[in-house]
């Protein structure tokens, strides 16, 4: 078998945590039999690392590199904050950052070449935790700067079409602190607006006010929601008397985009009741 589907390769990658090419080769060798491919991979040292891939890696670090008109952010995850502070883990994360910056890519799969996959497998075996290079963004702009906050837990890049790096950095600090949903209110997804409108409508109708008053209440609350969640309309954290839009105007600057990474955001983590887990283990021993 010379070809396997991308979906099958993706499935094997998710089940093992190994690199795309390793998974593809294993599937070709097993004629597309995913269980046989897993069994074959289990015989290799790489599979020793992959056994940990089912465990959730929601801790980790955000790293940033900026050179001239290019900026890159990466998120690399592990299972515990303790492991995220390990020097070997941080060196590995920096290798991901360097590769992404050199390649100028925002596709994490492009960054994970065979050397990096091999290093990841060795590191997993060393520290005993699942390690996942999760995402990357690498962008260019006439003016670019960023900010890393909270022991490498939040990273922000800000791109300007004109202005200074100092302005870009100030806005990056604001984005790190406030976490706006969109750059401008026009970019707010309609489903989010509708969801808020439904909530506001239900709340307004409970007031018992006339319909025309209710419509004005809903409109006012939607406008407030947009301003509070759109970067350009937010009050600047360093000077709440001005909006980000006004701050940019005062500094003859224009923002084109921003990118914000926070460690573990969007990852669902199973919370274990430690006491119950210990009790269950004792019961199993007693039996």
d(CA 236, CA 228): 11
User: Same structural domain for residues 37 and 84?
Assistant: no
Kindly state the tokens that stand for 62: 């955000």
Q: Is residue 113 part of a domain?
A: yes
108, 123, 140: which is the final residue of a domain?
A: 140
User: Same structural domain for residues 74 and 12?
Assistant: no
Q: Is residue 181 part of a domain?
A: no
Interacting residues of 234 by C-beta distance below 8 A, sequence separation 6+: 174, 178, 180, 227, 228, 243, 244
User: Same structural domain for residues 67 and 135?
Assistant: yes
Q: Is residue 126 part of a domain?
A: yes
118, 140, 162: which is the final residue of a domain?
A: 140
CATH number at residue 38: 1.10.8.10
Q: What is the mean pLDDT of the chain?
A: 86
The pLDDT tens digits of the residues spanning 252-264 come to 999 999 999 999 8
> Which of 64, 253, 262, 265 has the alpha carbon at shortest distance from 157?
64
Write down the pLDDT at residue 45: 41
The pLDDT tens digits of the residues spanning 222-244 come to 999 999 999 999 999 999 999 99
| Domains in the chain, number | 2
User: Same structural domain for residues 40 and 62?
Assistant: no
3-state SS string for the chain? CCCCCHHHHHHHHHHHCCCHHHHHHHHHHCCCCHHHHHHHHHCCHHHHHHCCCCCCCCEEEEEEEEECCEEEEEEEEECCHHHHCCHHHHHHHHHHHHHHHHHCCCCHHHHCCHHHHHHHHHHHHHHCCCEEEEEEEEEECCEEEEEEECCCCEEEEEEEEECCHHHHHHHHHHHHHHCCCECCHHHCCHHHHHHHHHHHHHHHHCCCCCHHHHHHHHHHHHHHHHHHHEHHHCEECCEEEEEHHHHHHHCCCEEEEEEEEECCCCCCCCCCCHHHHHHHHHHHHHC
Compute CA 95 distance to the chain's CA centroid, rounded to the nearest angstrom. Answer: 18
User: Same structural domain for residues 134 and 62?
Assistant: yes
% pLDDT > 90, the chain: 52
User: Same structural domain for residues 13 and 82?
Assistant: no
114, 140, 166: which is the final residue of a domain?
A: 140
User: Same structural domain for residues 72 and 125?
Assistant: yes
Identify the domain containing residue 117 by its residue range.
55-140
Inter-helix orientation angle 87-103/114-127, to 10°: 160
Compute CA 28 distance to the chain's CA centroid, rounded to the nearest angstrom. Answer: 32
Pairing of strands 235-236, 239-243: antiparallel
User: Same structural domain for residues 104 and 70?
Assistant: yes
CATH number at residue 131: 3.30.479.20
User: Same structural domain for residues 23 and 81?
Assistant: no
The pLDDT tens digits of the residues spanning 64-92 come to 999 999 999 999 999 888 888 999 999 99
Q: Is residue 25 part of a domain?
A: yes
User: Same structural domain for residues 46 and 62?
Assistant: no
Q: Is residue 124 part of a domain?
A: yes
Q: Is residue 98 part of a domain?
A: yes
Q: Is residue 286 part of a domain?
A: no
d(CA 118, CA 18): 9
User: Same structural domain for residues 22 and 62?
Assistant: no
Write down the pLDDT at residue 188: 94
Q: Is residue 71 part of a domain?
A: yes
């Amino acid at each position: 078998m010379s070809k396997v589907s991308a979906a099958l390769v993706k499935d094997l990658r998710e089940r093992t945590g190994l690199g795309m090419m390793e998974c593809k080769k294993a599937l070709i060798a097993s004629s597309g039999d995913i269980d046989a491919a897993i069994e074959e991979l289990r015989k290799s040292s790489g599979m020793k690392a992959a056994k940990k891939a089912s465990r959730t890696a929601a801790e980790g670090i955000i790293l940033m590199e900026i050179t001239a008109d290019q900026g890159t952010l990466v998120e690399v995850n592990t299972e515990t904050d303790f492991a995220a502070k390990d020097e070997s883990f941080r060196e590995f994360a920096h290798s991901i950052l360097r590769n992404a910056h050199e390649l100028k890519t925002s596709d994490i799969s492009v960054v994970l070449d065979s050397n990096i996959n091999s290093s990841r497998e060795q590191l997993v075996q060393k520290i005993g935790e699942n390690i996942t290079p999760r995402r990357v963004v690498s962008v260019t702009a006439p003016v670019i700067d960023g900010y890393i906050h909270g022991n490498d837990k939040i990273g922000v890049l800000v791109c300007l079409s004109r202005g200074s790096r100092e302005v870009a950095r100030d806005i990056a600090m604001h984005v790190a602190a406030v976490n706006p949903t969109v750059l401008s209110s026009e970019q707010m997804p309609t489903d989010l607006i509708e969801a808020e409108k439904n909530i506001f409508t239900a709340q307004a109708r409970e007031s018992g006010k006339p319909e025309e008053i209710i419509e004005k209440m809903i409109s006012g609350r939607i406008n407030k929601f947009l301003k509070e969640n759109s970067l350009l309309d937010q009050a600047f954290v360093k000077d709440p008397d001005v909006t980000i839009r006004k701050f940019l105007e005062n500094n003859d600057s224009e923002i084109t985009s921003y990118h914000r990474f926070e460690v573990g955001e969007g990852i669902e983590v199973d919370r274990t009741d430690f006491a119950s887990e210990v009790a269950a283990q004792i019961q199993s021993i007693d039996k």
